[in-house]
Each structure stands twice: as C-alpha cells, then as structure tokens.
Chain A
C-alpha cells in the first residue's frame, strides 16, 4: 500500500472537504535503509464519517485509537488507522484529524462502520465530554460510573484537581 493511493482516494471522495494532507516519510533499517510512511489528513467534523466510510470501503483499515489534543477553544481528535497490514513493509499509518469547537463538542460515531471503535469513543466521551452521536453505549468506561468530570480538558483542571483531592482524602479515612 502506498500513502498517495490512500490520500487520492480520500481526496476524490471528499473533494474540498479534505482540508490538509501530509505524507511523512521515515527511514528505517541499519543495513539497507527502507522507507515507511505516515499519512496525516485533516477533515472538518461533518466529513469525518464520510472519510472513514471511504477508508473502510476501499482499504479495510485496522482501527487503532483516537487521540485527543486540547487546543484551548477547540479540541483536535485524531483517528489513527493502519492500512495494508499482512505484508512486510506493506503498512501505512493513516491519521485522520478533525477539530471540534468546545462550544459544540460533538462528532458522529464510527461504530456503524467499525464496531471496535466503541472503546475509544467512550473514552473520549468521558475524558473530554465529547458527545458521540449515535454511539450504542455511552456509559463511562474507565472512569467511575457516576463520575461527571472530564480530566483531559485543560479548561476544567480545577474540577479534576478537586476530584483527585477528594479521592485521596477519602482513601485516607477509609479503614
């Protein structure tokens, strides 16, 4: 698999909605240098589902995880996939970024395309307060079931501090 093939397919499907694309070549090996590739794509939130549908339809990607990056007024979510596994040097890492304003923190679920995305979507839901539209199960996964804090939000730092503090105090008094 080559990164430009994946980029071209997504570009064809999204047109102008593909905001940015970047191929990073990395060189590995100590005897013979070989290249491996990371593909970085940026799409608006409303094109996320279409972009992933294109990847799933044409390349059978392996879903890895969703990273979050709190930028202040907005949060970037990066959907990491790999395409072309099963062959030596055949895999390309595909990283699909979309940035959502904190005032309107919602993204569509991908679980209709990739059921395995549920773990990561629920994690983003609880840790960032992201509303995942259409997710089949939106209970907290890693945080306590009744917790309402969003620890990875830099603007809600005080809330998390208080939560951690309370937990430590509670542990200290627990006989």
Chain B
C-alpha cells in the first residue's frame, strides 16, 4: 500500500530520491520492503510491500485436523505464541459449543499477560537500541528475563508454551509454583518506577520520540489500527475491555491511552512507549488478581485428545475468536463441517495486518534517521533494517543496516551534545 492510494501526499512530484529498505533480514521474523520517496532528508512518499514471510499457514490448515491446526496457530508468531492459540481455541469452542472450565480460563489469562509483559519489554529494548541507548536495551532485556524464566517454570518453554487446547488447558499451575509467580510480580512492581524513569523522564528519549511518527485518532480509526498503536492515538479500544472473555470478564480492564499519563494523545513514538509501559503495570495487576482468585476444578472439559477429535468431527458451525495480543487484536474465524476433521474455512488476522496502513501517515514528513524508530514503533518486530539502496539519478549506493542504525544514533548524539 502506498500514500497515493490513501490520498495522502506531501510536497510535489519533485521527489529526488527513491529509497527501498528491505525486504530480507535474517534477524527479523517478518521481513518487509519499504520504498521511500525523499525530498532531501524528508520522507514525502512510501510504498509498503509485505508478504516475504508468507508461509501459507491458512492453506496448510485446511488439510489438517483441528489439533494439528492448534499447533500451527501456535507457530504463527514466536512472540505471540499464546495469543493465536487463545483466539483459535475460542473460535473453535464457539463454533462447536464447547465450554471451558474456569480454572483453564484463568491459566490462559495468566500466560497471556506474562506474554504481554515480555513482548512489551522486548519492544522497549529494541526501541532503545534503535535510538542508540544500548545500556537501556541491556537493562530492559535483563529485566525481561524474569518473565521468560517464569514462563519456562510454568509451561516448560520460553516460547510456544503449548498451554491452550480446545476445551481447556494442557498444563496446570500447581500450588508450589505460585510462589515463583508472586516473586516475579514483586520484582516487576519494584522496577516499574525505574523503567518509567529511564524511558519517560529522559530528556534525550523525549527529544527523539516526541512528535515523531504521529498518528491522529481519526487516522487510526479510518485505517483500522489496533492495539497500542490505536490506543497511543487516543482510541480507548481494547478487546479485554470492550468484549471481555476469559478472566477479563471478572477483572475490570480499562484500555490505556496516553491520557492516563497526563498527555494529550498524538500517536507518536513517545505515546507508544507510554502505553506499552503502563500496560506492563496493568498486566502485573491482572496476573496478581488471577493468582489470588484462581478457581479450583478441571483443566479441560474433554481431557482425552481422541475424544476431543471425535467431538470436533461431529461439530458443525462457525465461530470467531478474539484476543488482545500484546500488539493488538488477534482475530480468528473458523467454520466446521460435520464429518470433517479439518476446518472448512479459517482466517487469521494478526495485529500487524491491521497496523500496516498506519505506517503510511506515520512515515510521511519524517527524516531518514527517524525511519528505524517509526518502523519499530508499531512493534512489528522488524526494526533491524536489511539494507538501504539509494538511487540518485544513475548513481547507486548500498547502505547496510549498520549504516542506517549509525545515522539514527548520530542524530541522538547531536541532540544530546
């Protein structure tokens, strides 16, 4: 998609540079190509081409049974590795009319919120790195390890926790592990002020991020933005609040916008940091509530996988599943037919799918040195740029990711000096 198809245009047609960035970088989970049009240092146009990592998961799913599809859904994203299964299992449970025991609902919620904490901290660290604050990157990622360790203790895995199954969860949180969870909560609660201080009260972070990559509430609404990107722009929109499910139906979640930090939302990079950091605090509260009120009882309504597959084969109907993943709303639609083990239709919508178009207004008017942090601000996990290929007339220069990063860091240094 590009700015022309959205009727957004800056300057005239006098763009003198075309700068393709991407698509492939081995460190990225989602390679993507941006083609920027530049007038001097200013971005006046952008064309975005995703799809380089399209693995055909929805196509594959139509040839597999629903338990196999659950495994596929878990592998859509390495960071959101419980968000997709939560949405998928809800869609199947709605289609087949399967109830989920209360304890299973709470366990799904706890793991989902731990995922939000580690995802937001991962993002904050990447953002700090893009700006050149590597000390902050190391601090943030060190702090993130506590959530990863707890996830490993609770599920056995740092990623792909394999917790939800249709009708419940596969693993309990035993009494003796609760202490570890409470310890992690206390750890994060004690660190929140330090993190807020490091990111939000730092003059150089503010100067590099305020007013950079702004998005108005109207743009966020019309471009169908989701998650922290929409909330940073001022839309109080969060599936956990709007249409509660799992334990969120018991705990009053309120969508967080920069207003909660006393700011007027502008959707810029700074607002994105505010929303994500405050959401870490919110996740801590949700986990604490779930641990304190963890219901007793069954883990799943159909414990045997063979019986579950047989029940699903008899089921017929359609359902949707929605979950507020760290990056925004995950949506799954599924249709089941009686006598078939595999789904008849399956559609997955990940948050970045919704937020792709928001990049266009965010990039317009920005400087080249701000491209990495704006690209990172929607949290697509693709802030490490592959290379920049600059064409000026018939003269070509290839810029590496390092050079682009250096440009961003030099800007920070100029500001700090």
| Chain A interface (Cβ < 8 Å from any Cβ of B) | 24, 26, 28-32, 34, 36, 38, 60, 62-70, 78, 80, 82, 84-93, 95, 111, 114-120, 122, 136-137, 140-145, 151-152, 154, 160, 164
The answer on a CB contact under 8 Å between A88 and B357 is: no
CB distance from A112 to the nearest CB of B (A): 10
Cβ of B225 within 8 Å of any chain A Cβ, yes or no, is yes
Smallest CB separation, B90 vs chain A (Å): 10
Cβ of A29 and Cβ of B249 under 8 Å apart?
Answer: yes
Stretch among B342-350, B383-391, B394-402 lining the A interface: B342-350
Minimal beta-carbon separation of A14 from chain B (angstroms): 22
CA distance A31 to B292 in the complex (A): 14
Which candidate, B46-54, B154-162, B167-175, B405-413, is the interface stretch facing chain A?
Answer: B46-54
The winner among A28, A87, A95, A137 for most chain B CB atoms within 10 A is A28
Among candidates B102, B235, B245, B357, residue contacting A115 with C-beta atoms closer than 8 Å: B357
Closest to B347 in A: A67
Asked if residues B222 and A62 are in contact (CB atoms below 8 Å), the reply is: no
Whether A142 lies near B329 (C-beta < 8 A) is: no
Using A70-B345, A80-B320, A93-B322 as known contacts, say yes or no to A119 and B222 having CB atoms under 8 A apart.
no
Q: Is the CB of B1 within 8 A of A141?
A: yes
Which residues of B lie under 8 Å from residue A29 when comparing CB positions? 244, 249-250
B86-127 CB contact bits vs A (8 Å, 1 = yes)?
A: 000000001000000010011000000000000000000000
Closest 3 CB pairs of A and B: A116-B224, A142-B51, A91-B242
- Please tell me if the beta carbons of A115 and B223 are within 8 angstroms of each other in the complex: yes
Q: Total number of A-B contacts with CB less than 8 angstroms?
A: 138
Instruction: Name the prevailing secondary structure of the A interface residues.
Output: mixed
In this complex, how many residues of chain B approach chain A with their Cβ under 8 Å: the count is 54
Residue of B nearest to A81 (CB): B224
B362 within 8 A of A: no
Known A-B contacts A64-B224, A116-B357, A141-B49; the reply to A34 vs B247 at CB < 8 A is no
Given A30-B250, A67-B333, A116 and B222 touching (CB < 8 A)? Answer: yes
- Which of A85, A117, A143 is the one whose CB lies under 8 Å from B51? A143
Tell me, yes or no, whether B393 is within 8 Å of chain A by CB.
no
Say yes or no: A116 contacts B242, CB within 8 Å. no
Check A119 against B1 for contact (C-beta < 8 Å): yes
Q: Which of B59, B225, B252 contacts A88 (CB 8 A)?
A: B252
A116 and B347 contacting across the interface, CB-CB below 8 Å: no
Is A116 within 8 A of B354, CB to CB?
yes
